[in-house]
Structure 1
């Protein structure tokens, strides 16, 4: 049976500086230097007596102290690649920041830094791909499911449960809601970290975005008796067309759900300094912006505490996608009532 190469390390870790590899290394070096010194001092004292050997012992002790200090300092510095590789791993795990460790050193410590960096970079690419696929698939499935539920509600008004058509529509609606719940769980997992997701920036005409959002939100708005007002605009912004449509669809959909019948949801875009400001406003009951901000900071998989605002995935997705565009979601509750959500994007012209 082959010996365990970690046996010595495992034994030391049980009581010899268990939390520091550097101190283990330096402690052994200290012992290795001083054991021969002790033997030499004992030999001198035994051979020549303490009085005759004292000058030589003092010189050897001073030289040993200087040598020990230099040796331990050098060894501590030589262990820097191991500490750097560990720091790169911890930093990436906590912040998703890619390492910048050098890769030109050919020895084992240099290879450790290089291979740690390359492994993290490879992992980062895979996580970006995972996030893009999960978020994209979840959104692509979620939008038609939302439309199916809205259409089912519309059909059930004239075909209530108990009729042949109503029973079929009820089953269809129940299945769509169940699938939407599965998609929401997938979306929550994708939203756990979207900082690494990227996209190709392009010129996005907002008039085309308005058209897509209108086509998606017209039916659920009309079912609730809510008026959609999309102010015409010729502005174009830089970003991902699909993501911007996704952002505005979520904001408008949330406003429709929150507003009672007879309300109005307004979408505007105005040029302010070097940015285009997009606003989604409604005259519904509104929510305290502070509570919304607290809910957005809460992890997606952490349930709200008693009395805290329960937040769906829509605003989390909006916040994450705006982060990718170098923007953020601003919220305010006007004195006239309702809610106003806004964000800024770079203009395309």
Structure 2
């Protein structure tokens, strides 16, 4: 594997000195100045020699030899300096090759401001983000394989038990196993449908619908769909209607439902028994804020940044052992993007979280 030159090598030292010259500002301009000076060294040397030796009437051959020597020296120096100035470009190329082989982010300098400096900084930023996404992808597949394998194994075990012991079971016991199989199968179907929705959202370039959506109906529908999940976990689900009873938001009803439903589902999973999840909306300077708050375990700062940036799935575990790959919040991020906005999170570890999205009022 090729080894990238160090930022403190002689080639980079020369580049750093020239890069900081106040004029010209661009890397191209600096390169042209170096070439201009180098090309004119023979001329300068010839004129200087002629002026100094005018009294001695030098032979023309001496002038020619001097010009040739000066040209060779000037060309050599010019090529050497330009080669060293191009060291950052070579290093960036080598860093890309190294990343393609090792999948590890390089350490390019990011403190230069001309075109080549920006090239190195952007390459560093992109490769660092790519390395993080590759790590997230690996964690995602590990969690996903667990989420699919464990429930399917449970279904298989229940089916085998029914096959071997079904005749000896009471009707209540058989119905209980069948209910467990049904519930587990539905959860897996929901997971797979969520993955499909995420793939569709990430690959979609179509504009979302912009139509008036009744906020009260949106909030009440979300509460109704999550009522059973909240009751099972003994979490109180509260809808706080907006002050304006006829408040409407301009957006895509299907995408808005996805966002609110996933907000609520996430909050329920991370809220203790006897805790509270509040679904609400409010008008803020010509916009409508759709909001879901809880008094659950909260999120640390790093997880909040990841959720808001949408740079990748953020696997987590619910308070009751539910494993999650962060699929719901990733869907929220993509749905918001399609409507030209983004999800926001405010959270304090141990005190709870608030998820919200702002859209124009209709």
Give TM-score scaled by structure 1 length: 0.48
